[in-house]
Structure 1
Amino acid sequence: MHKKFEKNRAVAPMNKTLAAMFLIAYGAAHAQTGAAAYPTKPVKLVVGFAAGGPTDVVARAFADHASKALGQPFIIDNKPGAGTIIAAQAVASAPADGYTLLFGATNHTMIPALYQGRVKFDAVKSFRPLCTVASSPTVLVVAPSLPVKTLADYQAKARAEPGRVTAGTAGVGSSGHFATEVFARAQSLQLNHVPYKGAAHVVTDLMGGQLDSSFATLGSVLPQIQSGKLRALAVGAPKRSALVPDVPTFAEAGGGNYAADVWYGVLAPAGLPEPVAQALERTAADFAKSESAADKLRGLGMDAESVCGNTFATRVVREAATYSQIAKALDLKAD
């Protein structure tokens, strides 16, 4: 009896060890199951522009793909205004659980340049860049009523009437704003910057003749260029776009070594769990690589582009620093 008792006592520690190992294994498996189950409810995709603009259109195409790929609705939440700060703030302050994401564009990296500590978040450190899904060059378009046919005509008119030629953008601090200012300073032009709350309103006023010109993303004005409702003078890319092959580059048109393009992509609050980040990156990359997305993006004047993870994060950091230098040199500040 005594020996049997001693034997049972010897086995007890082993049982505890096995139990502990089981709990660890169960916890790991449970965590993996939870990550694999993401998402288990609808995901909010916040857009810092009004509905109808290029960022919104691409966001909706991505949301449709992500909904099908991940089995839960990806719902667009438009929060326009304040140079996309309202949208960025909403995401920066949201839980880092993958259920509130930012669908942003290049202008996100311009926030540090224009607001310098006046916002409640860090445009770089408060976010985890996941993937870009598209890119688009900048194109200078003018209203049909403006009596110019070429970039040289446009520059001549702007010099003859300093401060009178209007140039609309999607807002103060938008990519179009930087593109406008950089070109104007390089060519010693005085343009009248007119900020809007989104690209769609710019296009409407251009066609209506209330606005003279815009340094716009090709995606936001391609249908109007193709239909003749707007006139494109030059495209800000190293080579001509296959979508508007008759439009010269700025270099070809006498605009110097000027180029500007815009990325569109998905960012999450900093601290996003790695399994969730990987699931979203895979989804975004698959979207950019799909034929349906490529066709959709070409129709919008964009190219599919998939830059993910650390590469995208490095790009965000580099752009933020570059735009801060440009803003300082040009003395650009948001109101």
Structure 2
Amino acid sequence: MAFSRRKAMLACALGLTTLPVWAQDYPNRTITMVIPYSAGGPTDAMARMLATAIRPVLGQTMIVENKAGGGSNIGAEYVARAQPDGYTLMLGTSAPLAINQSLYANLKYDPLKSFAPVIQVGYLPNVLLVNPSVPAKNARELIAYTKANPGKVSFASSGSGASSHLAGVMFNMQTGTDILHVPYKGTGPALNDLLGGQVQVAFTDVLSALPFLEAGKLRALAVTSAKRSRALPDVPTLDEQGVKGFDASVFFGVVAPAGTPKPVIAKLNAAFLKVLEDPEIKARLQKQGLEAPAQHTPEALAAYAQAEANKWRAVIKASGAKAD
């Protein structure tokens, strides 16, 4: 088997189009999809839904394995080192696929070179939230309020280097505000203190924000994506409110180890695409606030990850944020 795999990798390197012998009946055993986060979170829930739905499409079981830790780097490194045979995949987010290379000085994988992109599942916009005690009713008013009250407004994040942190950094950079960053160990603790008024502002994903918005416990001033969220159609984007070009979302993508044969990637892409186009799955993902990407090709995911890496590299450099 090892010799056959080496032949497959050599064939890919030489640009040969013949499907390797070992992959002609792919898949013929269980596939593992690694989640670089703990069980119970939004990425884990999404992975389990996709893994269940893809079984009848591929004709094989797909199991979900959580390998949390290191800001998602432990799971990502594991997949980067796995055999490139299509039987070990990762459902990753912006962190391991684009952001971490600029945050961690000693990363043991390259987010853009260690993986073969399979498909972008979608992206989850962040929401600019405020405690009801904040008088601002929109982003413009928050900017004015912050500048009129220097040192009195702070924003919570789920941790240094997280999307919720970097969105706040980008907001400060583009608006000239100086909202103080207060990092927490997770989204839950951050939102708890936002609810309690210990901090006044937070940038968090739509899925986490929805229950508090529906209960009237927090107020949404804007979504941070380029387009409005289908889950919050009445909430305008920051771009609409004068913060031009602002786009801070968490994207989700399935990847395999670099060197996985292209025919195997193509089969996986087609299978995941069929699942994502299923009306029931689409409805469930939309209810969770997930937005569909413009394209589902492996090339589209590669280009999107590269663009995100470039964007966040500039933000991280300007902010001086580090996660080691």
TM-score by length of 1: 0.79
Q: How do 1:249-288 residues align onto structure 2 when only pairs under 5 Å count? A: 249-288=237-276
CA deviations over 1:96-129 (Å, ceiling 9, x no partner): 222322111222201222224x111111111111
Distance in 1 between residues matched to 2:240 and 2:262, nearest whole Å: 46
Secondary structure at the aligned position of 2:239 is classed as coil
Q: Which amino acid aligns with 2:21?
A: A
Counterpart for residue 78 of structure 2: 90
Q: Which amino acid aligns with 1:311?
A: A
Quick check: 1:248 aligned with 2:240?
Answer: no
Quick check: 1:187 aligned with 2:140?
Answer: no
Secondary structure at the aligned position of 2:220 is classed as strand
CA contact (8 A) 1:133 1:287 kept: no
Q: How do 1:122-201 residues align onto structure 2 when only pairs under 5 Å count? A: 122-144=110-132, 146=134, 148-201=136-189
Counterpart for residue 17 of structure 1: none
Select 1:303's aligned residue among 277, 285, 291: 291
Q: By how many angstroms is 1:240 displaced?
A: 3.2
Percent of aligned pairs with the same amino acid: 37
Quick check: 1:100 aligned with 2:88?
Answer: yes
Select 1:31's aligned residue among 6, 21, 26: 21
Quick check: 1:58 aligned with 2:38?
Answer: no
CA contact (8 A) 1:81 1:197 kept: no
CA contact (8 A) 1:89 1:121 kept: yes
Counterpart for residue 328 of structure 1: 317
Select the structure that is richer in helix: 1
Q: Give the direction of change, closer, same or farther, for the CA distance of 1:228–1:57 in structure 2 (3 Å limit).
A: farther
Distance in 1 between residues matched to 2:306 and 2:216, nearest whole Å: 39
Distance in 1 between residues matched to 2:259 and 2:140, nearest whole Å: 50
Q: By how many angstroms is 1:251 displaced?
A: 3.4
Counterpart for residue 21 of structure 1: none
Q: Which has the larger radius of gyration?
A: 1
Q: Which amino acid aligns with 2:207?
A: G
Gapped regions of structure 2 (runs ≥ 5): 1-17
Counterpart for residue 231 of structure 1: 219
Q: Give the direction of change, closer, same or farther, for the CA distance of 1:76–1:227 in structure 2 (3 Å limit).
A: farther
CA contact (8 A) 2:126 2:203 kept: yes
Counterpart for residue 74 of structure 1: 62
Secondary structure at the aligned position of 2:25 is classed as helix
Counterpart for residue 281 of structure 2: 293
Q: Which amino acid aligns with 1:288?
A: L
Distance in 2 between residues matched to 1:162 and 1:77, nearest whole Å: 46
Taking only aligned residues, the RMSD between alpha carbons, in angstroms, comes to 2.8
Distance in 1 between residues matched to 2:305 and 2:219, nearest whole Å: 32
Q: By how many angstroms is 1:183 displaced?
A: 0.7
TM-score by length of 2: 0.81
